[in-house]
Each structure stands twice: as C-alpha cells, then as structure tokens.
Amino acid sequence: MVFSSADLREVKSAITSTFNEKFLNEIAVKLAVLVEKQFEEQLKSHRQAIDTLRDQTNILEAENRRLRKFVDHREQLERNHNVRIFGIEFTNAFGIGSMVYSGLEFGRYFELKNNVDCKSNILQAITPAARMLLTLVQVQFIFLNSKDVEFNKHRIVSRFGLMHMIATNLCEWLYVLVEETKHEIIHLGEHQNSTNSSLNQKYCQEGHVMGCLVTNASPFLFPCTIEYSLICAVILFEIWKKIKIGDNAQEYGKERVSFKDVGQTKNKHDRMTTHFHFNSYGGRMLNSNHHFTVDCSNAHRGLFAGIMVIVLTIISLIMFFVFTTASDKDNEKNRIRIAMFEVSTVELLLYLITTVAVGVAMLKMRKLKYDRKIGSEGSSGIGLDNTLLVVAQTGMFIYCMFSIIGSYFTIASNNVIELVAEIFSFIQTCLQTMFVLDGWWRKCRNIEQTRTKPGREIITFLIVANMAMWIINTLEKNRAEFRPTHLHFFGDWAWTIITHISMPMAIFYRFHSTICLFEIWKSAYKVKTPIKNPLFPIV
C-alpha cells in the first residue's frame, strides 16, 4: 500500500496532536499536583502560624493577668507605704513614752529602797528594766520587719516566736492596766480620807520626788504603754498571718521568672509601676514614680473650720482646769458642776457637728468609684490600719455605754447634756468607722472628680476635729475623777477599772482615725495610669 504525501501529513499531524495533548495533560496534572502540594504546605504553614500566634496570645494574656495582679499589689503597697511609715514612727513614739514610764518606775525603786518606812522588792526594779529592754528590742524588730525580713526559712520557730510576742504584749497591756488602776484607787482613797494600810503604801509610792513625778506623769505616759502594746500585738499578728500564707507569697516571683522573653523582670515592673496623677488645674499628667506628692487643693475651708474647733477646744480646756484647780474650797462643788457643764456642752457641740459632717461626707463620697481589691489586704480583707481602728473602737463602745448608763441613773443629780453628749459620741464613732471602712476603697472615676474632689473639705475638717477630740480624751477624760457622779454610782473600783480599760483605747481611736482619714484624704482623689508604654495594655 502506498501512502500519499497528504496521507502522511495527516498521520503525522494526528500523531503530533495526540502526543502534544497527552504531554500537555501530563504537564497539567503535574502542575496541579505541585500547586496543590504548595497550597497545602502554605495552608499548613499558615495554620501553624495561627496556632503559634494563639499560643503567644494566651501567654501574653496570662502574663497580662499576672502583671495586673502585680500592679494592683504594688499600688496597694504604695498606698499603704506612708501609712506604714506613720505607723512605725508613732509606734516608736509610743515606745519612747513607754520606756520613759518604765524608767521612772525603775528610778522610784531606789527611792523606796532608801526609805526604811517603805517596803521594797527587787522585782520593782527588774520588771520596769525588763520592760524597757523588751520595748527597745521590739521597736527595732518592727522597724526591721518593715524592710521585709525573711521568716519562711524557719516557719515553725517564727510562728511560735511571734505568737509568744503577741501574748507578751497582751499580758503587758493587762499588767499596766492593773497597776494604774491600783494607783488611782489608792489616790481616790486618799481624797476620801480613808485610814488604812493603803495610805502608807501610797505615801511610799507618791510621797517623794520620783513618786510624785510618776504620779503626775502617769496619766500621760501610761496610755503610751497601752497603745504601744496594742499596736505591736496587731502588727505582729499581721506578720504571723503572712508567714502562714508564705507559700503564696512567692507567687509573683515564680511567675515572673518563667517569662524571660518579655524582658528583665525588674526593669519591666519598674516600667509598669511608673505612674502619674492629674493636676487639679487642667488635668496635666505629673510623673510621680520616685517622689511623694500631696495635692492640698479643695481643703482650705475644712481646715479653717477645723482650726476654729481646735480653738474652741483649747478655750474649753483652759476653763475646765481653771474651775477644777482653783484654791477656793467653799464653792468647790459649784465650780466642778460649772466645769462639767461647760465641758459637756463643748463635747455635745463637737459630736453634733462631726456627726453631721460624717453624714455629708458619706453622701459626697458615694459619687466616687468603690474599687476594692479582694485579697489585696490579706485574709482579713480590711487591712492592718482598719483592723486597728475597729479594735480601738471597742474602747469607745465600752466607755460610751457605761457613761450612758451612769448618766441615765444619775440624771436627777446630773445634767442632761452629759447623757446626750455620750449618746452622740456613740453615734459619731459608729458612723465615722463605717465611713473610714467604706472610704478606704473609694477612687475618682474621671478627671472631673479629680478637680472637684467631692467630700475632701469635709474629710479635712474631720481630721482636725478628731485631733480636738483626742486632746479632750487625753487631758480630761482619762481620769476616773472626771465623772464624779459616775464614780459615786459605780463605785471607786468599778468606775476606775472601766475608765482605765476603755479610755486608752478611746484615745487611740481618735488618734488612729486621724491617720486613716488622712490616708483617704490623700489617696482617694488620685488617678494612676502607666506613663511608659508597656508591651501590652494592662489598663
């Protein structure tokens, strides 16, 4: 068979076409497989990248939460830093007063020893000397503890030692109460012309130079010992609680070490805790990382009103001492009655004004945000300073309740103003404690509140007014003789014991209220935000 050239060309064209189509199909299939493989690889790579980003996001969110806790913790420490300084300084002041009181008692022993008519015991020198040594060592211990002494290495020994120190302070508190109560009962017995062996003992204690000095100084010094023992017991109990939860105390440190990629821990936290607050004149941001600032705006009217209260209180004290220390014996009862009426009137006026002021401050402070960090103050939830305030208020309750009872049952021979004054004293302390416990956690919501500072003038007035009430309690009401009708109604022993148990705590209540109110005055109107940009937002 012979094929023509046309047939050959057709066959060649058919073969070429078939070959090209098959080749192209193979190439297309290979390209499709290659593209699909590359797409799957890219998809897998993208999925891995998404998973990696998700993991990193979770890590950053976890670190963010931890840093929030850390910043909240640091802010709380910064908030309490100045109160802790005040607490340490005033603890030192009370400790100095306690050591002076013990030193006078120590010197009185040698005066009694040289008097053949008086009985002396070597324990009368050892006891005050040991008390001075304990006070000195304990003040140093508390001061060192403010710098974070490590207790968790020997936890059992630390707990035992701290609990023993707490018990020692409570025993010392009771001992001084008993001794001062005994001395005042002997003093009252002398004024009532009682003729028994206690007068000879009283003469031995008070009839010489050191004895008279101890007697005259004890109304001002023995409350220092009472308040010092109370503060130390509460501070040591707070330290004991920190040892109890010591395993959780290192939580922040352990978590920070595991995140090395974020940067060095110290620099990071220094960067995160740098803060600023707004100037009241226009909201300008002020850096306050390493220095302490106090904005005294919106406080002048409350300060001037408080100064007027202080002046009125001082005038009242002068009149009281003039009436009670006059040498005219003929009109002694009339003078004492006038002095009591004058003091009770001033007290009633002061309690009425401060009760209204606390109510107004409560209403104004409700506008602020209640920002309480649960657990930031430990297991108690209210903190050391508020715990001290609540404990001290028990003294106010005891004194007010017994004073109300005594005033009610002696109302025929007593003035009604004393009864009303004690009732309003009870009401005022209850409202003020509730206000402090609530206002401790209040913060400004916005810049407008940092400018207007609602309630700050009232808080300023309450700070000065509590100082005035502290002066009244210290100079007038700390002696059982201040209420002669109560002394007659309850008896010398009962009313003296009631006064010496309750009044030192009442004095400390007014003193510590001033510190707590100042902390609210200082901290409630600040706005803290990071000034340096962190790696991720925390606010």
Do both 74 and 192 map to the same domain? yes
Within a domain: residue 268?
A: no
* Residue 279 scores a pLDDT above 60: no
Within a domain: residue 8?
A: no
For the chain, how are helix, strand and coil distributed in percent, rounded to 5? Answer: 75, 0, 20
Within a domain: residue 118?
A: yes
Paired sense of beta strands 529-530 and 275-278, if any:
antiparallel
Do both 357 and 301 map to the same domain? yes
d(CA 407, CA 309): 26
HSE toward the beta carbon, residue 426, CA cutoff 13 A: 14
Residue with the bigger pLDDT between 84 and 49: it is 49
Which letter does DSSP use for residue 295 in this model? -
Q: What is the pLDDT of residues 436-448, one digit of tens each?
A: 999 888 888 888 8
Q: What is the pLDDT of residue 363?
A: 92
Do both 194 and 295 map to the same domain? no
Q: What is the pLDDT of residue 287?
A: 45
pLDDT-derived band at 328 (thresholds 50, 70, 90) equals low
Residue with the bigger pLDDT between 149 and 233: it is 233
Backbone angles phi, psi at 208, to 5 degrees: -115, -175
Within a domain: residue 251?
A: no
pLDDT-derived band at 167 (thresholds 50, 70, 90) equals very high
**Number of domains into which the chain is organized:** 2
Q: What is the pLDDT of residues 285-294, one digit of tens each?
A: 444 444 555 5
pLDDT-derived band at 195 (thresholds 50, 70, 90) equals very low
Within a domain: residue 500?
A: yes
pTM of the model: 0.68
Residue indicated by tokens 């821990």 = 265
Q: What is the pLDDT of residue 3?
A: 52
Do both 337 and 413 map to the same domain? yes
Angle at 96 between CA 90 and CA 102, to 5 degrees: 140
Within a domain: residue 159?
A: yes
* Residue 537 scores a pLDDT above 50: no
Do both 168 and 312 map to the same domain? no
Amino acid at 452: T
Do both 209 and 308 map to the same domain? no
Do both 174 and 233 map to the same domain? yes
CB distance 415 to 341 below 8 Å: yes
For residue 105, give its domain range: 67-245
Where a domain ends, among 189, 218, 245?
Answer: 245
Q: How many CB atoms lie within 10 A of CB 331?
A: 12
Residue with the bigger pLDDT between 34 and 397: it is 397
d(CA 382, CA 438): 10
Do both 207 and 298 map to the same domain? no
Within a domain: residue 360?
A: yes
Closest CA to 526 of 464, 445, 418: 445
Do both 313 and 215 map to the same domain? no
Where a domain ends, among 212, 245, 278?
Answer: 245
Do both 405 and 513 map to the same domain? yes
Do both 305 and 235 map to the same domain? no
Do both 296 and 238 map to the same domain? no
Closest CA to 378 of 245, 527, 206: 245
Work out the mean pLDDT of the chain and round it to a whole number. Answer: 75
* Residue 51 scores a pLDDT above 70: yes
Where a domain ends, among 183, 216, 245?
Answer: 245
pLDDT-derived band at 426 (thresholds 50, 70, 90) equals very high
Within a domain: residue 207?
A: yes
Q: What is the pLDDT of residues 481-518, one digit of tens each?
A: 778 888 888 888 888 888 888 888 888 899 889 988 98
